[in-house]
Amino acid sequence: MSTPQPDRPSKKGKKVRVAMRRNRNKPPRVSDWTRKARDAEDNDIDTSAREMVIAKGDLSRRRTIIVPEGELKHEEFLSGVVVSVHGLHLQVDDGARTVLCAVPRMLRTRMIEERHPVAVGDRVRFSLEKSMDGGEVTGVVQSVEPRRGQLQRQSDDRVHTVVANVDQAIIVSSADEPPPKPNLIDRYIVSALAGGITPVICMNKIDLDGDAFAARILARYATLGYAAFATSTRTGEGIDRLRTALKDKSSAVAGQSGVGKSSLLNAVQPGLGLKVGEVTRDTQKGRHTTTTATLVRLEFGGFVVDTPGIRAFELAQIDPRELEAYFIEFVPLVAKCKFPDCLHTHETGCAVKAAVDRGEIHSARYESYVRLFEEGCDNKRYATR
């Protein structure tokens, strides 16, 4: 991740003002707000999302809308990465320190209208606001940059961005205790790809792979062209490889409980897995943060996001008709199927199924495809029939 550089106010500042005009819609009814707030409680929707349904009078709205650039105490904006979100405030890491920043209401409203409230991992530009008494330096967010990959979570029919600008998902499984589940690996790969995130396959506890079962699974993914390597926190195998994979990137760590994610993070940077543990304890106090992500800066460059809610990141539900695109070895074949709209499930003349029969596509990968396809068809959002 590059070091954030101070930046001049750009056109983006003005764009914000234009977009605000779209804010003049009907305020939601109070009863509606109450219901949504209650739903939010149930579904762990972040508090900034709840904020959107609080109706504000037009007057106050207009007042908060205008943030004249001339009034900024500093001409230059800084850029940084949102490392955590606490209701209406963000912690922003600008490379040198972490600054508590407020998000002006109008910016928040605009983002929510566009269905992406500011999330951990977003890159923002902000102005510094030195407090009058010389106390803590705080900031005001001026703009949010367009996102690259994002991890999303779905609750009911709403999609939430849990982490934005994730470069890669480190998909961790273990050679044993628990044994590897290829179907789960495939799910994580599909979710990552659907979110624009590069999957990286990490097979931990390779010290327990006496019969090389896990090594064979790993080889399958390497053959497909994915970065795939074995690690052991016991023997130290592959830890350098993992560190290299993490360096200067923003990574999410995904995988079943018990595969050794915390151990791996502690192996690459002592204390890292522990920090994550503290976040967990915090949530147990009943704070509304069970699915709140936190980015942790790596000493050797980069960020990882590893909180319980992310680890089990709800696998994005994919339109079954799009699924073939996320099975990389199917892609060159789909044009060869007899029917142009072939779903590769029951059709005759299917080039994908023929490749499975010839052993060119691994049957476990095809089974994963069929399972995900059927789940997608069961999902009311994507029901194809």
Interface residues with Zn ion (CB under 5 A) are 337, 342, 344, 350, 352
C-alpha to C-alpha distances, 253 to 121, 256, 364, 368, nearest whole angstrom: 14, 10, 23, 21
One of 207, 314, 329, 375 touching ligand GDP (CB under 6 A): 207
- Give the tokens for residue 116: 């992406």
With CB atoms as reference, the residue minimizing the distance to ligand GDP is 260
Does position 263 interact with ligand GDP (CB under 6 A)? The reply is yes
C-alpha to C-alpha distances, 231 to 259, 273, 292, 344, nearest whole angstrom: 11, 16, 28, 35
Q: 305: how many CB neighbours lie within 10 A of its CB? A: 26
Full DSSP string of 9-60: --HHHHHHHHHHGGG-SPPPPHHHHHHHHHHHHHHT--HHHHHTTS---HHH
Does position 204 interact with ligand GDP (CB under 6 A)? The reply is yes
Does position 215 interact with ligand GDP (CB under 6 A)? The reply is no
Return the one option of Zn ion, ligand GDP, none that residue 352 interacts with (CB less than 5 to 8 A, by type). Zn ion
Return the one option of Zn ion, ligand GDP, none that residue 99 interacts with (CB less than 5 to 8 A, by type). none
Task: Give the pairing of strands 168-174 and 198-204.
Answer: parallel
Does position 250 interact with ligand GDP (CB under 6 A)? The reply is no
Return the one option of Zn ion, ligand GDP, none that residue 233 interacts with (CB less than 5 to 8 A, by type). ligand GDP
Does position 260 interact with ligand GDP (CB under 6 A)? The reply is yes
Stretch that binds ligand GDP, among 102-110, 133-141, 205-213, 354-362 (CB under 6 A): 205-213
DSSP conformational letter for 120: B
Comparison of 25 and 348: residue with beta carbon closer to Zn ion: 348
Please give the Cα distance from 144 to 65 (Å, whole number).
Answer: 16
Comparison of 150 and 232: residue with beta carbon closer to ligand GDP: 232
Sequence-ordered list of residues with C-beta below 8 angstroms from that of 122, at least 6 positions apart, any chain: 81, 82, 144, 145, 147, 164, 165
Does position 233 interact with ligand GDP (CB under 6 A)? The reply is yes
In the chain, the amino acid numbered 44 is D
Does position 205 interact with ligand GDP (CB under 6 A)? The reply is yes
Residues that bind ligand GDP (CB under 6 A): 204-205, 207-208, 232-234, 257-263
